[in-house]
């Protein structure tokens, strides 16, 4: 990876490197929240990874009979009508969520019958591919007794049927398992089961919104498949057309006009000038640990650089960048109107060159700029309104300071080389308080270090595994399929062997450093697929990684004294210390289930390699990681190897219960269910 200065003045070469070497649901947890306004060949043994330690390749592995090969029927995602393809994607997402959250076992044949007792009917679902990790590929469902030639069941109707089934006790999500439960404010703790909120119209409307938006993305990408920004990181960020495969409304974005959707969507390669405000220093809340040549650079000075020339800034004020949609929304809020009336806040309007949304929609980048900007955006995207919380702003700076206490140097020493693994730092922020010191929600910006050169092949795992129209093929394929296919053609090796080696290298380049940070410092990362970037070398092999997100840190409560010694006062304002049992549960979900199992499922669903082979390779990796020196040993490998069940975030249940994943304590933000562990069962 090309060297670029870091916010502390170091070079990329100085930053961390890769290491050289069917049960049913159990006790779902439903919290309450206060509201805000390719290759079909079977390979019998994983191939040895280049540079991977020997333990993963020792001993024969007999995976048993092969999975079925690629389904002979046309893939519904390749339907020539973008609306039909988007609806097929929406149906698959809903069904994958329901099957996972219900603990539905694998059907004996090629079709699954799903009883809907509340509607006195059943769904018949063709199974194109059954995944041990939940990444099933499913065909168009039909209802009992549907006459031939009838209109197919669409995603919105399916959502209504599943909502009705849930409301009438057709699932077990609604009971409160009592684990890690925290009541919000003066809201009473409920021991009784909670029914899904409302009448389901909210979920159904968001499914419709998500499908409609996805159809627009597919149509646009089919018409313009080859656009190249000249900035590979941005190209990758614009590739998540279908979104999370286990989320019921992955592309739901309420509150955008058609023109705004085109300008603000990374999937449409949108871009826009920032909207700028001027803030009086008396109400400015800011911090910065961004240093250049050993000197701290204030966030206000960094923002002024990003604004460039020509911004009509009133004397004595500080520039604050805003998302244009957020600026319009803020204009109607009484707290911002009061600041304007008092002469403490000035609306300067749009200014400067285009900035481009990344996969989160609200974080924007500009080729050549030293920083990205994580902006508040009050749109409800999937489950949540994406406005920064003050504790998250503080947390990003705090983690940067923590790594600079010597922890980052220890990390580099443990994993020498380049490009290595690091955290994309959030070392500065700008925010606004009211005159009485109360934070003004949504009027803020995080200044995130931009570490990638134009040619750096940095791609989030969600983008790597996301199907999208592939130039010249007329079908939906993922970048992962393309990379493995190219490596297979170049090396003359079977795709399954290449896929297995790629996976082993990923475990070394990305997963092992994340485990080290937890074991050494008690800092667990919310390393789900969209927060985890893999750095690919010129051949397409994993060579390093990056983690991003100032929300997703868990400081283990049991390690508070050690972290306090490293950085006195840590966690006081950032609210980052979390009980170890909650940390264990979340870390196992985000890194184990979402990230690694999700990657295994993507390999399997693309027919690149059997999932059982990769699960066996992951077991060997974990067994080796579990023998790390005690001072650096994470508890996660042993948990993943031995726990017969794992707790998993239930995205459909979370949506049915109307929860906002960014509201309230970490314990109560989502519904969690218990799933069988595919590493054990």
Instruction: Give a yes or no: residue 326 inside a domain.
Output: yes
189 lies in the same domain as 274: no
pTM of the model: 0.87
- Tell me: do 240 and 280 sit in the same domain: no
Distance between CA atoms of residues 647 and 681, nearest Å: 15
- Together in a domain, 207 and 168: yes
CATH number of the domain that 510 lies in? 1.10.510.40
Q: Note the pLDDT of residue 170.
A: 60
**Same domain, yes or no, for 173 and 286?**
no
Same domain, 336 and 353: yes
Chain-centroid distance of CA 577 in Å reads 21
623 domain-assigned: yes
Strands 577-578 and 553-556: parallel
Whether residue 178 sits in one domain with residue 238: yes
Could you tell me if 605 and 651 lie in one domain?
no
Same domain, 562 and 607: yes
- Note the pLDDT of residue 386: 86
Residues 309 and 340 placed together within one structural domain of the fold = yes
Phi, then psi, of 215 in degrees rounded to 5: -60, -40
Q: What is the pLDDT of residues 476-510, one digit of tens each?
A: 999 999 999 999 999 999 999 999 999 999 999 99
Q: Are residues 321 and 275 in the same domain?
A: yes
On whether both 440 and 534 belong to a single domain, the answer is no
Does some domain include residue 136? yes
Q: What integer pLDDT is reported at residue 45 of this predicted model?
A: 33
Q: What share of the chain is helix, strand, coil (3-state, %, to 5)?
A: 35, 20, 45
Domain-located, residue 68: no
Tokens matching residue 479? 């970048």
* Positions in the chain whose pLDDT score sits under 50: 2-3, 5, 9-71, 172-199
Do 243 and 127 belong to one domain?
yes
Domain membership flag for residue 406: no
Q: How many domains is the chain partitioned into structurally? A: 3
CB 33 within 8 A of CB 197: no
**Is 333 a domain residue?**
yes
Is residue 19 one of the residues assigned to a domain?
no
Q: Is residue 45 part of a domain?
A: no
Range of the domain at 486: 456-465+473-642
Final residue before a domain boundary, out of 611, 627, 642: 642
Asked whether the beta carbons of 244 and 467 are under 8 A apart, the reply is no
pLDDT of res. 351: 98
- Over the stretch 608-665, which tens digit does the pLDDT of each residue have? 999 999 999 999 999 999 999 999 999 999 999 999 999 999 999 988 887 655 555 5
């Amino acid at each position: 990876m090309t060297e670029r200065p870091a916010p502390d003045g170091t070079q990329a070469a100085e930053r961390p490197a890769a290491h050289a070497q069917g049960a049913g649901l159990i006790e779902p947890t439903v919290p309450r929240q206060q509201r805000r306004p390719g290759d079909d060949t079977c390979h019998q043994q994983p191939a040895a990874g280049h540079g991977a330690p020997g333990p993963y390749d020792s001993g024969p592995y007999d995976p048993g009979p092969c999975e079925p090969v690629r389904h002979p029927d046309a893939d519904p995602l390749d339907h020539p009508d973008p609306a039909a393809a988007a609806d097929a994607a929406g149906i698959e997402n809903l069904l994958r969520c329901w099957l996972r959250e219900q603990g539905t076992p694998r059907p004996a044949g090629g079709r699954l019958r799903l009883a809907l007792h509340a509607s006195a009917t059943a769904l018949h679902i063709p199974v194109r591919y059954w995944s041990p990790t939940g990444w099933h590929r499913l065909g168009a469902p039909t209802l009992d007794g549907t006459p031939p030639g009838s209109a197919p069941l669409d995603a919105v109707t399916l959502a209504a049927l599943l909502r009705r089934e849930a409301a009438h006790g057709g699932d077990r999500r609604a009971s409160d398992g009592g684990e890690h439960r925290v009541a919000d404010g003066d809201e009473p703790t409920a021991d009784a089961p909670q029914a899904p909120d409302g009448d389901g119209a909210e979920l159904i409307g968001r499914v419709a919104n998500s499908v409609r938006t996805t159809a627009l993305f597919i149509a646009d990408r089919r018409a313009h498949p080859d656009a190249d920004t000249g900035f590979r990181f941005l190209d990758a960020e614009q590739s998540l057309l279908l979104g999370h495969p286990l989320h019921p409304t992955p592309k739901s974005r309420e509150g955008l006009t058609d023109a705004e959707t085109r300008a603000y969507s990374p999937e449409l390669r949108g871009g826009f000038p920032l909207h700028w405000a001027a803030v009086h220093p008396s109400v400015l809340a800011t911090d910065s640990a961004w240093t250049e040549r050993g000197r701290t650079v204030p966030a206000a000075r960094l923002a002024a650089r990003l604004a460039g020339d020509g911004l009509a800034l009133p004397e004595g004020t500080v520039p604050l960048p805003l998302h244009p949609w957020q600026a319009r929304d803020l204009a109607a809020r009484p707290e911002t109107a009061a600041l304007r009336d008092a002469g403490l806040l000035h609306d300067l309007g749009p200014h400067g060159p285009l900035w481009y949304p990344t996969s989160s929609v609200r974080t924007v980048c500009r080729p050549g700029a030293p920083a990205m900007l994580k902006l508040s955006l009050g749109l409800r995207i999937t489950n949540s309104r994406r406005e920064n919380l003050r504790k998250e702003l503080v947390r990003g700076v705090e983690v940067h300071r923590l790594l600079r206490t010597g922890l980052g140097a220890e990390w580099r020493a443990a994993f020498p080389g380049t490009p290595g693994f690091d955290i994309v730092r959030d070392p500065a922020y700008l925010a606004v308080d009211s005159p009485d010191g109360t934070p003004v929600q949504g009027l803020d910006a995080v200044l995130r270090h931009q570490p990638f050169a134009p040619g750096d092949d940095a791609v989030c795992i969600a983008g790597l595994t996301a199907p999208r129209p592939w130039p010249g093929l007329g079908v939906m394929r993922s970048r992962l399929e393309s990379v493995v296919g190219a490596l297979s053609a170049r090396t003359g090796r079977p795709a399954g062997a290449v896929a297995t080696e790629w996976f082993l290298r990923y475990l070394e380049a990305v997963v092992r450093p994340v485990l080290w940070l937890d074991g050494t410092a008690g800092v667990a990362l919310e390393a789900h697929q969209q927060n985890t970037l893999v750095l690919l070398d010129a051949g397409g092999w994993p060579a390093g990684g990056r983690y991003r997100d100032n929300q997703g840190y868990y400081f283990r409560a049991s390690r508070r004294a050690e972290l306090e010694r490293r950085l006195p006062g840590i966690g006081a304002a950032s609210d980052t210390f979390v009980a170890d049992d909650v940390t264990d549960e979340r870390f196992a979900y985000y890194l184990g289930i979402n990230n690694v199992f999700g990657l295994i499922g993507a390999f399997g669903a693309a027919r690149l390699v059997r999932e059982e082979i990769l699960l066996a390779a992951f077991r060997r990796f974990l067994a080796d990681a579990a023998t790390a020196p005690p001072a650096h040993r994470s508890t996660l490998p042993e948990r993943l190897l031995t726990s017969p069940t794992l707790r998993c975030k239930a995205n459909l249940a979370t949506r049915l219960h109307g929860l906002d994943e960014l509201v309230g304590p970490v314990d109560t933000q989502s519904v969690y269910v218990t799933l069988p562990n595919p590493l054990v069962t």
